[in-house]
A and B are shown apart, each in its own frame.
Chain A
Amino acid sequence: AQSVTQLDSQVPVFEEAPVELRCNYSSSVSVYLFWYVQYPNQGLQLLLKYLSGSTLVKGINGFEAEFNKSQTSFHLRKPSVHISDTAEYFCAVIAGGGTSYGKLTFGQGTILTVHP
């Protein structure tokens, strides 16, 4: 079975500073990787996904993530954050290279708080 660990439950940062949200996964098979953002009282919105190809993935709102197979990591980064980036961020995995599509396994979430 696969699992996802988000190493920080809360990350405070000042506006215009860079940020990295860390995610590690475990799986005995190949994986697809995702980052979602959840604003208060809203559903999850897909930020970016890694399915194959280039290990550096660019998403919406200026976010990017890098797949590191040897370290089983998929950290999310943004060079300069805005107040509006304050939200909860979830890392997720689908294991099996698509054979188990539909079954996202999520991490516990990281609350990003951007201070003025």
Chain B
Amino acid sequence: GAGVSQTPSNKVTEKGKYVELRCDPISGHTALYWYRQSLGQGPEFLIYFQGTGAADDSGLPNDRFFAVRPEGSVSTLKIQRTERGDSAVYLCASSFAGDYGYTFGSGTRLTVV
């Protein structure tokens, strides 16, 4: 596609539920990143994929968070046992390897009630 696509754009879930957030990167981009942006804050790094593998997952806050990219294209961020503190906008970005001009998607706004 022309840009990075994230679905859903909005997700409301109950505390304790499981959610999946999807990211479709720009075709041919081998690098993919997830960030989390809480209200009034700058985005914070979660995880970085180069191809299918997670090259850096140091930003994942705890073991309730997990992300996959099985075929080196689409990525899914998975959150188990959601908590109200997980409410934020989750942003995905992609780029060619070694290119610092990341393209961000519009994000998924997650609200845990």
Chain A residues with CB under 8 Å of chain B are 4, 32, 34, 36, 41-46, 49, 51, 90, 92, 94, 98, 100-109
Cα A51 to Cα B42 in complex, Å, equals 21
With A104-B45, A108-B41 as known contacts, state yes or no: A43 contacts B33, CB within 8 Å.
no
**Of the 9-residue stretches B12-20, B60-68, B100-108, which lies at the interface with chain A?**
B100-108
Given A32-B100, A101-B100, decide whether A106 and B106 contact each other with a Cβ distance below 8 A: no
* A/B interface sample: 19 pairs, CB < 8 A: A32-B100, A41-B106, A43-B93, A44-B43, A44-B93, A90-B43, A92-B42, A101-B98, A101-B100, A102-B33, A102-B50, A103-B59, A104-B33, A104-B35, A105-B45, A106-B42, A107-B42, A108-B40, A109-B41
Find the A residue at minimum CB distance from B4. A43
For B31, give the chain A residue with the smallest CB separation: A102
A45 engages B43 (CB within 8 Å): no
Tell me the B37-62 residues at the A interface (CB within 8 Å): 40-45, 48, 50, 55-56, 58-59
Among B40, B45, B106, contact of A43 (Cβ-Cβ < 8 Å): B106
A45, B58: Cα distance in complex, Å: 24
Interchain CB contact under 8 A, B56 and A104: no
**Interface residues of B toward A: which range?**
20 to 34
List B residues at the A interface (Cβ < 8 Å). Answer: 4, 31, 33, 35, 40-45, 48, 50, 55-56, 58-59, 91, 93, 98, 100-107
Closest 7 CB pairs of A and B: A106-B42, A102-B48, A43-B104, A44-B104, A43-B106, A103-B45, A106-B43
- B102 proximity list for chain A (CB < 8 A): 46, 104
In the assembled complex, the Cα of A25 lies from the Cα of B31 at a distance in Å of 25
A106 in contact with B4 given A34-B100, A43-B107, A46-B102 (CB within 8 Å): no
